[in-house]
Structure 1
């Protein structure tokens, strides 16, 4: 990091040491799997709420959202607007359900409902989702820090990954939660600092942002047409956001595990709402940052010319052929390089690192937990000793961290971090949520109905995702929906096929 001033290097170094220090502090408590996976159920609700908020506010938000707003508009903010309804469903139904079962894994009860295959299938979908999420986050922080330092992106991912693996291994879930509390504060301060910096460089402050953004339709939430499901309209993103957020709050091991870490059911439910109260307005701040950067570089086009030339060279096209979405993810890092004063730059980099570390550390811990409960104890060693439990947790945590780094390296070169993550999340989450809803809402659906519905749901998801690759003569059977609809249609396919099949088979079963 020789290209950064010593004061910024010191701030970043102190932050990383502090995170590892928290891991060492809580390592003395990690004597059993109960402490490692759910902090023995002693975490206050306000800390869990900030932990949820920090997980949502990943580097995909810190970098991808401003890049998306710069390149297009505020259409993606509709995702945030869907959170309250999903939070209400989760707080009212899912939290009491999980607290009552007492199972640390979100997927154990599916075995009781449909069989071992359902538990293993949803666990595998969860792990793939986590790898996609963590990989995109590693890529996001590497993209920024490379722009600031010139260090190779692969090196950045490996170094930051080692730090995250270290404190997650040492401190377990309690370290994850309390580091996320610190990270939530740092992220929020970092966002406020970026807003202040951009505003201070505008000729007429916020009025320029509203004027330039308005002329270029940067504040649009998308089309409100109810007949267009092939583009990213307001309703498409709203439905996508509701189903993804219901998946997050309702069946994602990251969140379910922390419901068990709460002192009580009431505090667990309150933590969901605290997350919503923080995330929705702060995510709006990040969209504003993207629009403000668009206005800033509209006033000073010469300051973005270098980025445009670099992207044009990478794509092999003329600079004049570029559109803002082609280089949106590079705009915030470029602004930081050229406009942020010494000292404050280190704070903002620490905020970006914290945005990444919170989501990755919780993903590693939760993935290790489901591997222990749903794979190792289910298929390998049912009478596992406490010492062996800790060994499995340590090894699987580190393994997930390494695989996430590999996934991040594989993503180098993608156009939009946010678009990539949304697409992968839709593919892997649709099957999980549909099966969960079938199990919870249909009293008559059994193993046969669940298997049939899941197979059909997977076929639908694969068709919606990859039918664009069909030759031109088969254009009539290509997916007519926007890719954000994958989780919506996939979830509904599994639930409706299972519920309807169970209803049709019920008279036959009763007659027999």
Structure 2
């Protein structure tokens, strides 16, 4: 890293901070802080959807994946398309029409308050687990470039992320996401340029070597449930996982409900998916080219892990200027995920717990201040989670898949119960979900039920639905109040007096 490289990183950081500072001046009420007053353009929200999931782990793990396995990981984008398509068809109309702030408000209207709290808790655990990988990924680069320990780097990145996120609401998060996603492509372009221009024959020679070594294969039709590089697994297991992430994850839902209307939300979702295809493809391409590059160099040192390939390349091969863009891209990827995760955590804690149970009549500014305080709290928790992620020694992509799926199956099951199964009542939804989780944990630990981690959502979600149906038979069916406009079988009517968007208040004791 030379002076020009640090200058690029500092200028980029200054622009991001300026966006956050400008946006923070408008954060005087919860609608602005949590949803941007529904004034954010759909295309910005679309880029933000993918920037949120396109983390530093993706930017570091993607080239490592491409280096080792070529373009096979691209198959998962078909699973993402299935997941997003199901969200649009099943969940999106309810999220937008009901004027929600968090996805889990729907669960209270359809079932009761404890089910809402259970859903929100599952999300909180999911994001806490993911935050460890996000911070760890960014800290890896800082550690390599500066020589400081990984834990010290985690602390530095975590503190900076907390300070930046507290300043801005969803408006700042979204607009910085747009900038950060653009910087990611600039950095990837710089890396590809550095690899191509460093060898005789350029891109054509690197592409030829990759082809000779089987790195250009995109589809693997073999049935291998344990491998995310198998097309059936990508379509079925990962497709259901993507459905859970895109449809029940507050980080995604917060973008949908910030759109002006349902049509804008659909366009944002498809733009997010298409941008994701380009982003993942670009990271894999860089990894494939690095494979060919190091084949010509006699190979990588044996102590370099897949997640460290890009960092090693930056330090040893990338010329001044290009290094700065690559490092800025990595930090952009880190911030675009960390700020979104922290903001969504604070949103859920404030809306689903603080405003719901502690201070129902809280003022707008008090709720905003509580959310900002919670960002600090969750940021500290994320730092410890990242230190744990570093101690596991797993590859980043494997860590994110294995440690986040355990919370998503129950969450998907609850939402499917609400939208698709009108006979399921609050009793069945809550205890069916809890029972499903316990059964899967016990059966897995006892060896009675063994399946790869990526299938956890595909197994737990339908199991929760079946158990909920059975338990619901021991109690009365849900009342019309909990069905009208809340399932696909009970559409909203134009009858006078119909109101399905009113929020539950203190007098709705039957919901508690």
TM-score above 0.5? yes
Q: Report matched runs for 1:38-57 at 5 Å.
A: 38-57=35-54
Q: Which one of 82, 86, 97 corresponds to residue 85 of structure 1?
A: 82
Deviation at 1:272, TM superposition (A): 0.6
Deviation at 1:483, TM superposition (A): 1.7
CA contact (8 A) 1:79 1:240 kept: no
Q: Report matched runs for 1:292-303 at 5 Å.
A: 292-301=289-298
Q: Which one of 314, 319, 330 corresponds to residue 308 of structure 2?
A: 330
CA contact (8 A) 2:245 2:408 kept: no
Is 1:495 aligned to 2:465, yes or no?
yes
CA contact (8 A) 1:75 1:221 kept: yes
Is 1:386 aligned to 2:383, yes or no?
no
Deviation at 1:223, TM superposition (A): 4.5
Is 1:399 aligned to 2:377, yes or no?
yes
CA distance, structure 2, for counterparts of residue 499 and residue 452 of structure 1? 10
Deviation at 1:188, TM superposition (A): 1.2
Aligned to 1:72: 69
CA distance, structure 2, for counterparts of residue 350 and residue 339 of structure 1? 17
Aligned to 1:142: 139
Q: Which one of 1, 6, 14 corresponds to residue 3 of structure 2?
A: 6
CA contact (8 A) 1:126 1:252 kept: yes
Is 1:152 aligned to 2:149, yes or no?
yes
CA distance, structure 2, for counterparts of residue 9 and residue 452 of structure 1? 54
CA contact (8 A) 2:173 2:339 kept: yes
Q: Which one of 342, 347, 353 corresponds to residue 331 of structure 2?
A: 353
Aligned to 1:229: 225
Deviation at 1:234, TM superposition (A): 1.9
With normalisation by structure 1, the TM-score equals 0.87
Deviation at 1:222, TM superposition (A): 6.3
- Flag the 1:507–1:38 CA change in 2: closer, same or farther, 3 A: closer
Is 1:246 aligned to 2:237, yes or no?
no
1:194-231 CA-to-partner distances (Å, cap 9, x unmatched) read: 122222234433444444334443344565244x4344
Is 1:420 aligned to 2:399, yes or no?
yes
- Flag the 1:362–1:493 CA change in 2: closer, same or farther, 3 A: same
Deviation at 1:251, TM superposition (A): 1.6
Deviates more, 1:492-501 or 1:24-33: 492-501
CA distance, structure 1, for counterparts of residue 166 and residue 194 of structure 2? 37
Aligned to 1:316: none
Q: Which runs of 5+ in 1 are unaligned?
A: 312-326
Aligned to 2:176: 179
1:26-55 CA-to-partner distances (Å, cap 9, x unmatched) read: 121111111111111110111111111211
**What's the C-alpha RMSD, in Å, of the aligned pairs?**
2.4
Deviation at 1:163, TM superposition (A): 2.6
CA contact (8 A) 1:82 1:245 kept: yes
- Flag the 1:57–1:508 CA change in 2: closer, same or farther, 3 A: closer
- Flag the 1:463–1:68 CA change in 2: closer, same or farther, 3 A: farther
**Aligned-partner SS, 2:307:** helix
CA distance, structure 2, for counterparts of residue 508 and residue 258 of structure 1? 33
Q: How many pairs were matched up?
A: 477
Q: Which runs of 5+ in 2 are unaligned?
A: 479-512
CA distance, structure 2, for counterparts of residue 94 and residue 376 of structure 1? 25
- Flag the 1:461–1:223 CA change in 2: closer, same or farther, 3 A: farther
Q: Report matched runs for 1:96-175 at 5 Å.
A: 96-175=93-172
CA distance, structure 1, for counterparts of residue 272 and residue 477 of structure 2? 47
CA distance, structure 1, for counterparts of residue 19 and residue 213 of structure 2? 46
Is 1:367 aligned to 2:367, yes or no?
no
With normalisation by structure 2, the TM-score equals 0.87
Deviation at 1:84, TM superposition (A): 2.0
Deviation at 1:109, TM superposition (A): 1.9
